[in-house]
Structure 1
Amino acid sequence: MRVLPILAGLLLLPALLVTPEAVAATPSADNGDNLAPTPPMGFNNWARYECGVSEDVMVPNADALVSSGLAAKGYDTVTVDDCWMTHSRDAAGNLVADTVKFPHGMKWLGDHLHAEGLKFGIYEDAGTSTCGGYPGSMGHFTQDANLFAAWGVDYLKLDGCNVPTAQGKTKEQTYRDLYAQQSAALAASGRRIAFSESAPAYFCCQNPDWYRTLSWLPQYGQLWREGWDIAVHGSTNRWGSVMTNYSYNVPLQRYAGPNHWNDPDFLITGDALTADESRSQMALWAMMSAPLILSVDVPAMDATSLATAGNRDLIALDKDPLGKQAARVSTSGTAEVLVKPLANGDRAVALLNRGAATATLTTSTTAIGITGTCTSSVKNLWTGATSTTTGALSAAVPAHGTAVFRVTKGAGCGVTPTGQIEGIGGKCVDDTNSGTADGTAIVLYGCTGNANQRWAVGTDATLRTLGKCLTASGTADGSAAVLSTCTGSTAQKWTYQQSGALVNGASGTCLDAYGGSSADLTKLVVWPCGSFQVNQTWSLPV
């Protein structure tokens, strides 16, 4: 089902405020229905081998997925990235596989993968040439889609290098047209081919065209690379790259769900990451419902790396059928707490330690949105150990490590989405000085993890902290956002849209960081809704 645009191109997501635990509607993309109901998993050569791709690279890695047991756990799509073809098309205009690299050809490779119970993925580009300088699909979308279908391709990654802006169109409009053409060509090919779209990576990050691009992706495909690539093999500071990709991806939970997944790029488990860093990437990607696509030397993975990538509890977390991406509950210095709602009502919780030393990180069942008084069951997803709690959740987390728990609330308790509201510059919506007097100013401030930045999303369309409601003090443009006693008035009702806008029920205007500023103490007001305006874009709790 396609969602219709309203209010300057914004998309309404009433379920986030009215029924927070409801399953998001599954869109029908132009290239086919239900092609990725859960995040895809598998192997891609790029981050490990780059243009050193060949049959001698792809086949042993595919075989190792099977022999290691990873394929049986879901790592079943093997994708050949850039540089697999010759530098020119044949006389009929067809792409030609490089027979030095792939002596048996691509149809043979697809058949080999299918015989092992795997899926066959391939790379192309929407532009005139690929990032590596090989022929792009521009002007050949139908021809290439038909060729891929004949080869038995199950998954297409379409990059966005070398895209000339069409006359009379913006760059964003040009990309949309090209990705729409590719989607239609896949649909007409006669084969079900999942579509990975790299378009948003060419607009990254936190700007109107980036958000505008993210808004149309579900119409054409199933997953998208929305930012920078993970650092390739041999790079320095690969952990820094993991954290960069996590950081641009985590506020985008409103775009994720069955058949539409945010993709922060490859898993690099055990390749220039410590064991704790590898576990962190696996945990965070699973919390974010991200595709789990290894780009390492799979035959060389040691037992620790195989155990990390093959952790059944984390894979189940990633592939939970509700399809919700985690949101941050709190950020305080180098400590972050994330929560992810699960289909059976459980809450997954991650405690991330970005710091350089072991730290004890603590949250509570109240902070992660469990309401009422009860005893909850807790499972440590790394060790398998189980325990119970009536409130506290705590762990000693190693440097660059992430603890992950699955929390089952006890009888008598409920759930309300709770956590920080993030806006421009990664800053948080903050109740000034934790004041509870009616009229206390609501401002933008650096995230602290304190209770005055912890907001509960009510089923009555309210946003509450410290027992009071976020309120528009008037309907005039520039009216301040304040904290007030909850009365049920329309000034306290907020409708969340897929663009990230929060529309006030009384004024019909949007929550706005005044003047587009991201400075601490910037006042929040209601202001006419713009089109994918960054200072009106908010990430809500889940």
Structure 2
Amino acid sequence: MAAAVALSGALVVPGAQASPTATSPSGNALALTPPMGFNNWARYGCDTDSPNTGDQGPSQQLILEQAQALVDTGLAAKGYDTVTIDDCWTTTARDSEGNLVTDTEKFPQGMAYIGSRLHEMGLRFGIYSDIGTATCGGFPGSWGHFQQDVDLFAAWGVDYIKLDGCNMPSSASDADGYIDAYGDFAAAMRANSSGRDMVFSESSPAYFSIGATDLSDWYDVIDGASRTGQLWREGYDVKMRNGGGSAWDKNSNGAGVMTQYGYNSLLSRYAAPGSWNDPDFLITGDGLTAEESRSQFALWAMMASPLILSTDVASLSTDSLATLGNTDLIAIDQDPLGRQAGVVSRDGTVDVLARPLANGDRAVSLLNRGTTAVPASTTLSAVGFLGGAGCSASVKDLWTGATTTTSTIGATLPPHGTAVFRVTPGAGCTGQQPTGQITGIGDKCADDSGSGTAAGNPVILFHCTAGANQRWTLPSDGTVRALGQCLDAVHRSDSTYTGYRAVLNPCDGGSTQKWSYERNGFLENTGLPGRCLDAYASVTTDGNPLIVDTCANSRPNQQNQIWALAE
């Protein structure tokens, strides 16, 4: 099991244990803030025969035009500085020495030339390969050629490698096989013959989430990727341009924004400098309305996500450029503390997220999932500020720039809209503590049953309601509290279950009221070492009891013991 991290007001995020030098031969820290830039895939696909795009695939002309557009629009100066060539850039076979061969019809002057041109523009050079025997587009993969390919990329001046996960040999196609193979590729990157630092973007987790009913392997592969790369894509490709349907909620032919936001928003424990959850590309203007584009950008910034555009940068509208160039939101995304927002509450329509920032501020967002406008609000205490009625804050609307002094945060949200604020606490605020829902299997919430406060009131799994009985605070003493009571473990026997039940009890300082949060998402009771909060029998129906059972100490992790906590 990963090392425990005590819950406290100055919580050390489990993800902060991830090494920021995992693929650096020189020992330099890599990607200490989320990477930003451009990738051609979602907008342009593989080639002119692609049924999903109707556009050209990667080419020297396309890549250099898009790179120049980043510079000309001012986006490069705001941080969008990594230009990555995706699949279909090689010929269909390696050469006689086993090297990848650039398709010179698409890239007549070769990849070293692309690298030098990008560097002359002040940009970084990214390239795609695949861990398996063939790429997803059917071109040669890197299997059996890890060091050879890495050395070739380094010689070309590559700064960033995106490694996909198609076509793994059957002998290595399970979770352990992916973890080991990506680890071996990372080792090859550290040992590259040029000594070049290259950021490693892994795609391994995506191959264990799509269509899976048991996500135990997915969590294991995410954990593995977070130890060897700087960013990792967890699920579906984003919807490609001209793929049909809405890019907001579409699940086939590429996921919609809400699908990717849904799984990514519950992985904050892995985020830290050099360690980023990647929900895939920004598709501003391609299949999204202006409001939806603003929401994707705001949510990606709140989640400390990589900001990689896959649009036609040269034809972005004035409104799209204003969205993508919003310096206040870029500052949230690039905040050096490197913490990802946690979920404060969800009720099926409005989501509230909060993210601690390096200077003591908090970023807060309000998302309307619905199709009609709704008023939405939260309070300073609900998003983690201490001080009660005496706490007020300076609240800046990061879309309008307007600032107010208030104890509440709110807005009327248009359909699919997201309001986002930077909150600076005032003198009456006495501190901060993580506050919000605890989300488990089936995206259900840990719930104080019936909002009861009597000793021994059961804690259950229930659909998320944003109710006060699902708002948990994590104060500095290691307790986990709701409605002023403490989460506890009590041994009981009845017709359903004999063993330790999760209950609320008056806070008494007892050892069974102390908890530690593991990097893999386990919430371990420190008074009962080796026992973790557990959704009984992995049942996700409302009212299923939460128990405190033996922690799964080896892969695969048990998904019913994995919890997402507030930040």
TM-score range, shorter chain: over 0.9
**Superposed displacement of residue 182, structure 1:** 1.1
**Superposed displacement of residue 15, structure 1:** 5.0
Distance 1:107 1:15, change over 3 A: farther
What does residue 505 of structure 2 align with? 484
Using the TM superposition, name which of 25-34 and 282-291 deviates more: 25-34
What does residue 237 of structure 1 align with? 246
SS in 2 for 1:406: strand
SS in 2 for 1:48: helix
**Superposed displacement of residue 140, structure 1:** 0.5
Q: Deviations over 1:160-200 (max 9, x none)?
A: 0000132xx66112112211121111111111010001111
Distance 1:214 1:475, change over 3 A: farther
SS in 2 for 1:178: helix
1:305-320 pair list within 5 angstroms: 305-320=320-335
1:141-540 pair list within 5 angstroms: 141-166=146-171, 171-189=174-192, 190-204=195-209, 207-235=215-243, 236-240=245-249, 241-372=256-387, 373-389=390-406, 391-413=407-429, 414-474=431-491, 478-508=499-529, 509-530=531-552, 531=554, 532-540=557-565
**Following the alignment from structure 1 to structure 2, what is the Cα–Cα distance between the partners of residues 140 and 174?**
16
**Following the alignment from structure 2 to structure 1, what is the Cα–Cα distance between the partners of residues 105 and 308?**
26
**Following the alignment from structure 1 to structure 2, what is the Cα–Cα distance between the partners of residues 17 and 428?**
21
Asked if 1:41 is matched to 2:36, the reply is yes
**Superposed displacement of residue 265, structure 1:** 0.1
Contact 2:10/2:433 (8 A) holds in 1: no
SS in 2 for 1:329: strand
Distance 1:501 1:187, change over 3 A: same
**Following the alignment from structure 1 to structure 2, what is the Cα–Cα distance between the partners of residues 15 and 26?**
17
Distance 1:295 1:15, change over 3 A: farther
SS in 2 for 1:408: strand
Contact 1:257/1:323 (8 A) holds in 2: yes
Aligned length in residues: 530
**Following the alignment from structure 1 to structure 2, what is the Cα–Cα distance between the partners of residues 533 and 26?**
21
Q: In structure 2, what residue type is equivalent to 1:49?
A: Y
**Superposed displacement of residue 473, structure 1:** 1.1
Q: In structure 2, what residue type is equivalent to 1:207?
A: L
**Following the alignment from structure 2 to structure 1, what is the Cα–Cα distance between the partners of residues 535 and 37?**
41
**Following the alignment from structure 1 to structure 2, what is the Cα–Cα distance between the partners of residues 15 and 238?**
40
> Structure 2: where are the runs of 5+ without partners?
47-56, 250-255
What does residue 5 of structure 2 align with? 14
Distance 1:475 1:74, change over 3 A: farther
**Superposed displacement of residue 229, structure 1:** 0.7
Contact 1:29/1:218 (8 A) holds in 2: no
**Superposed displacement of residue 472, structure 1:** 0.4
Q: In structure 2, what residue type is equivalent to 1:478?
A: G
**Following the alignment from structure 1 to structure 2, what is the Cα–Cα distance between the partners of residues 306 and 82?**
27
SS in 1 for 2:180: helix
SS in 2 for 1:480: strand
**Following the alignment from structure 1 to structure 2, what is the Cα–Cα distance between the partners of residues 332 and 392?**
19
**Following the alignment from structure 1 to structure 2, what is the Cα–Cα distance between the partners of residues 222 and 156?**
10
Contact 2:9/2:433 (8 A) holds in 1: no
**Superposed displacement of residue 18, structure 1:** 6.5
Q: Deviations over 1:245-285 (max 9, x none)?
A: 00011000011111010000000011121111000000000
Cα RMSD (Å): 1.5
Q: In structure 1, what residue type is equivalent to 2:175?
A: E
SS in 2 for 1:472: strand
**Following the alignment from structure 1 to structure 2, what is the Cα–Cα distance between the partners of residues 310 and 31?**
30
Q: Deviations over 1:106-131 (max 9, x none)?
A: 11001000000000000000000000
SS in 2 for 1:219: coil
SS in 2 for 1:474: strand
Which of 16, 19, 23 matches 1:24?
A: 16
What does residue 7 of structure 1 align with? none
Q: Deviations over 1:496-532 (max 9, x none)?
A: 1011111112222111111110110000111111141
**Following the alignment from structure 2 to structure 1, what is the Cα–Cα distance between the partners of residues 542 and 501?**
16
**Superposed displacement of residue 202, structure 1:** 0.6
Contact 1:81/1:122 (8 A) holds in 2: yes
Contact 2:216/2:558 (8 A) holds in 1: yes
What does residue 109 of structure 1 align with? 114
Asked if 1:50 is matched to 2:45, the reply is yes
**Following the alignment from structure 1 to structure 2, what is the Cα–Cα distance between the partners of residues 273 and 218?**
30
**Superposed displacement of residue 474, structure 1:** 3.0
Q: In structure 1, what residue type is equivalent to 2:341?
A: A
What does residue 52 of structure 2 align with? none
Q: In structure 2, what residue type is equivalent to 1:20?
A: L
**Following the alignment from structure 1 to structure 2, what is the Cα–Cα distance between the partners of residues 526 and 315?**
41
**Following the alignment from structure 1 to structure 2, what is the Cα–Cα distance between the partners of residues 475 and 279?**
50
SS in 2 for 1:91: coil
Distance 1:213 1:17, change over 3 A: farther
Q: In structure 2, what residue type is equivalent to 1:116?
A: M
Scaled by the length of structure 1, what TM-score is found? 0.96
What does residue 53 of structure 2 align with? none
Q: Deviations over 1:302-350 (max 9, x none)?
A: 1000010110000000000110111110101211100001011111000
Stretches of 4+ moved more than 2 A in 1? 15-19, 21-26, 474-478
Distance 1:269 1:16, change over 3 A: farther
**Following the alignment from structure 1 to structure 2, what is the Cα–Cα distance between the partners of residues 353 and 30?**
38
**Following the alignment from structure 2 to structure 1, what is the Cα–Cα distance between the partners of residues 537 and 131?**
37
Contact 1:475/1:507 (8 A) holds in 2: no
Percent identity of equivalent pairs: 55
**Superposed displacement of residue 16, structure 1:** 4.3
What does residue 252 of structure 2 align with? none
**Following the alignment from structure 2 to structure 1, what is the Cα–Cα distance between the partners of residues 564 and 18?**
21
**Superposed displacement of residue 219, structure 1:** 2.5
> Structure 1: where are the runs of 5+ without partners?
1-9
**Following the alignment from structure 2 to structure 1, what is the Cα–Cα distance between the partners of residues 108 and 4?**
50
Distance 1:28 1:284, change over 3 A: closer
